[in-house]
Amino acid sequence: MSRRETYSIRARLFGRLMPAFLALGLGLFYYLHFHAQRASERSFDHLLAASALSIADAIQYDDGVPTVDLTHSSLTIIASRTTNRIFYRVTAPDGSLITGYPELATKAPPAASAAPQFVDGTFLGVPVRICTLGRFISGGRQSGWVTVVVAETNEEQEQFSAELLRLSFGPAAGIMLLAMALIWLAVRSALRPLDAIERAIVANDAANLQPLDVPVPQEIHHLVAALNSLIGRLISLLARMQNFVAESAHQIRTPLSNLRAQVEMAVDETDRGSIRDQLRSIHRNAVVVSRLADQLLADTMVAHRAEISSLAPTDLLELVELAIDEFSDRTGMKVKLRIETLEAPPYILSDGLMLTEAFRNLLDNALKYAGRAEPTTVRLVSEAGQAVLSVEDRGPGIAADERPSITERFVRGSRSGDTPGSGLGLSIVANVIRHHHAILTFEDRKGGGLVVKMTFPLSRFPEEHAP
């Protein structure tokens, strides 16, 4: 696998979480920055209002004219700033200047209330916070609202805001970094079962495969189940290969030994008649070995396809006709095909290759045991939503008490006599029928012989099953 096809789950998870944490951190920073400014502004507004009120309290009449006489406490409040500069202006009800900077907040309207009003502005080229409030006076030549305007530069407020932000965002950022580290450790811990699965797979010996038996989280339970299913199929395949090798060696050893002995005898033989007889025996044993090898391969093929293939709509009549033509061309034996009660093509769900192999085995058995004296009869009947395919011959048949076990591998009936065979033909047929969810039965034929019936459920609408 190339580097482009590999990636780290840990890095991918952490990479997905990082943008979220960065966005969260950025949002938290702006949130804390906004509230730090608001808190700092409110605190300094209170101090600015206190300065304006101290000036308003110092307003009095002197010879009927409003004046401002700042007391020591008022001067202390105004001078309490260490960095900021304070500016103020006091104007009489008629708008005339009483004291202070005449250019300060000249556009501000005269006060009409004792409640302080705050705005941002600039004075002498620097940003300032401006507080405006009124003090109502009466009894002199002028009566009405005296306007008090106090402005303060923002150095201390900005320093205080930055300190609040540092004290609040610093621990929050530390907590977020700690959370990211904990998440990284949690991700590593959560993915640790994958390491255990990897070790279990690596430790699984190819010669002795075993399903994975490791504790796993629920989220990857299906993954382990799929791996165990794959391992199970590999175990089955390996066992089938081992059985094939062992059975092939066991079943072929004796015929090959006979062939070798017969060949050695024919080599030493000088009589032409004896040589001819030995060649016939050699040919007969070669046919047996060839048929046995074909049966072993067919049995393995059927078992393999039963695990990997899927059933598809198949015209059973067409399949039977093709198989009969192939059998007749191969053996020169005629087969009678009888079709009954078929109103439409008998479609069934099947694996065509497996079903053809099973049908071929039945025809070969009929020829082998019944001979060529009478043609084999194949009957196809459609009834009650089922297709019944029968192969009828005039052979010795199968004893009733042997029929339950006759489909086991390497089992032959007592009536087979000296007829050569492997005992695999009916086993292959039974495996195919079982894979097709069909029914296999054996009956005695009237007048002698055997009837092998295969009953399949019909598929009425093949297009519904088409891929």
Check pLDDT > 50 for residue 459: yes
Residues, the chain: 467
* pLDDT of the residue at 387: 93
* pLDDT of the residue at 452: 95
Question: For 161-175, 193-207, 353-367, which range has the lowest pLDDT when averaged over its residues?
Answer: 193-207
Q: What is the pLDDT of residues 75-128, one digit of tens each?
A: 666 666 667 788 889 998 888 888 889 898 888 888 888 899 999 999 988 999
Position with higher pLDDT, 444 vs 466: 444
Strands 376-383 and 335-340, bridge-based pairing? parallel
CA distance 216 to 194: 8
Q: CATH 3.40.140: does it fit domain 11-163?
A: no
Q: How far does Cα 322 stand from its chain's mean position?
A: 44
Tell me, which fold does domain 310-464 have in CATH?
Answer: Heat Shock Protein 90 (3.30.565)
With cut-offs at 50, 70 and 90, classify the pLDDT of residue 425: confident
Question: For 60-69, 97-106, 318-327, 367-376, which range has the lowest pLDDT when averaged over its residues?
Answer: 60-69
**Does pTM top 0.75 for this prediction?**
no
- In sequence order, the β-bridge partners of residue 145 are 136
Check pLDDT > 50 for residue 406: yes
Q: How far does Cα 185 stand from its chain's mean position?
A: 24
Check pLDDT > 60 for residue 467: no
Strands (E), 232-375: 312-315, 335-340, 347-350
Helices (H), 122-154: none
3-class state of residue 448 by DSSP: coil
CA distance 347 to 313: 6
Apex CA 203: angle with CA 202 and CA 207, to 5°? 100
CA distance 40 to 164: 8
With cut-offs at 50, 70 and 90, classify the pLDDT of residue 465: very low
CA distance 6 to 1: 7
* pLDDT of the residue at 358: 92
Domain boundaries, the chain: 11-163, 197-308, 310-464
With cut-offs at 50, 70 and 90, classify the pLDDT of residue 403: very high
Task: Give the whole-number percent of the chain exceeding pLDDT 90.
Answer: 21
